[in-house]
Amino acid sequence: MKSWFDGVGHSYRTPIRIRIFGVIPAKPFILTKIIATLGPASCEIPVLTRLIESGVRVFRLNFSHGDPESHLQLLTAARQASEEVGIPVGVLGDLCGPKIRVGKVIEGGVELQMGQPVYFQRDPILTGEDPDAPVTFNVTYDKLIDEVEPGQRLMINDGNIHVLVMDKSEDRLIGTVTTPGTVTSAKGVNLPETALTVPSVTAYDWKCADWAMEHGVDFLALSFVRKAEDVIKLRQYMKRKLKGRLPLPIIAKIEKPQAIDDLENIVDAADSIMVARGDLGVEMDLASVPIIQKKIINMAHDYGKPVIVATQMLESMIEFPTPTRAEASDVANAIFDGTDCVMLSGETAVGKHATKAVDHMSRIALKVQEHIVGEKVRWGKPPAKLQADRSRMAALAHGVMTIVRDMNVKHIVVWSQNGGAARHLSKNRPTLPILAFSSDHQSLRRMTPLFGVKPMYLEQPADTEDFIWQVDQLMQESKMCKVGDALLVVAGEPIGKPGSTSNIHIHYVGDYFGESG
């Protein structure tokens, strides 16, 4: 529930005007964040409020489905649910990227047999209409015949059907079925061994990006990333459109083999990284995906970038009320490896048990957290690249971790007007909450995917002393702390100025610079 704490302290203090988001003392704070995809199963405000209360901190809008009107309805519902619960929740717009699909197929589909010859042509065709003719498909990518070469694989329906291309002419490809199955209209086509010239951002994606900027979406996820230039191109486009305002943070989805070849540059260029295991598992050796996942997480940590693990985490819960043991282990292992966020897709978009899926994911995350805290081990790698740059905030964040290890600190408290200080502290992965205060609502929403960060609204204090005093009152009023608990406060002067964070204070609740009460 949301609440306001109003009060007046000593005459020289600023009156407290704090909005508390998500202060539920009886419920442990989960350091790893949960992303839930919006859809028919999660479009009503009561469901969304329940998801937030269960642990969702970012909602995903999948632009592959729906239209601007339905997207606006979902965005509005998400914002209203966040307001009702009193917890800031980010909204992630997921761009589709180019989708290569099979053309029209007769009703019921066409069954492909092992070793059967199949053909792909340029002109549209209704596949299967003539049962005596060779099976011939058309696909939605005009350059398919030009760019696919003999010896390369063509995969249909999420990689369940494989065709080996044997030969090609000017107008068609000739292939042989190596993994059989039924093909129906509009099934996806993957070309893992083909160097496609299709751009990462389609005409429809540009329209979705415009819509996201216009309606205040908090993040954009970029599909079909193959090189760092794909990320840079989208950011430059947003800068031109926004005319001096900051572009939306970009989440680069790693789902193509070519992205692995340029991974370090992509991580450096993007604001966040998503391990999109769906297409990654189709286009690469399935046995390599867990290793690649760990590699991506480690590199994101090195660069101090938040990382999301996505796709099929609790897939069985689309139908069933409990996950499989393997799914529970998958979620737990991603959290052990130090992912900032775990993401649900169909489980919350179209699943029968959306809230239960979030409940299970929260319970798994909390169990892993309790184990790591109990073992007193380092959680994830420190951001080696940030430390090597010798930036002031990176050094300060490293110092905070040292103090946290040496003292029994209850919370880390930071004034982070635009979220930069919170990001640096988050990437050092302390095993206690980072209470990140800002007077900017958009900044609060953009802090929601950060590991360990609890964004909290506060009207800008007059100075650091005023900030500490207001936080002290808040900790006592909300019962987030007891008198005598230690807080590690990170701020700067003048407070609220970006890049000014430079001070660390140890403050004991109830003791304001020597004053009692």
Q: Which residues are catalytic?
A: 60, 101, 253, 311
Torsion of CA 175, 176, 179, 184, to 10 degrees: 50
The whole-angstrom separation of Cα 496 and Cα 442 is 15
User: Tokens 């989208």 sit at which residue?
Assistant: 234
Which tokens is 57 given? 């901190």
* DSSP per-residue letters across 144-195: HHHH--TT-EEEETTTTEEEEEEEE-SSEEEEEEEE-EEE-TT-BEE-TTS-
The whole-angstrom separation of Cα 1 and Cα 397 is 32
Residues 6+ apart with CB under 8 A from 170: 145
Torsion of CA 345, 346, 350, 351, to 10 degrees: -110
Task: Describe the chain by its helix, strand, coil percentages, rounded to 5.
Answer: 35, 25, 40
* DSSP per-residue letters across 485-501: -EEEEEEESSTT-TT-E
261-267 contact pairs (CB < 8 A, 24+): 262/226, 262/227, 262/228, 263/295, 263/296, 263/299, 264/299, 265/227, 265/228, 266/225, 266/227, 266/228, 266/230, 266/231, 267/296, 267/299, 267/300, 267/302, 267/303, 267/305
- Other C-beta atoms closer than 10 Å to the C-beta of 341 total 25
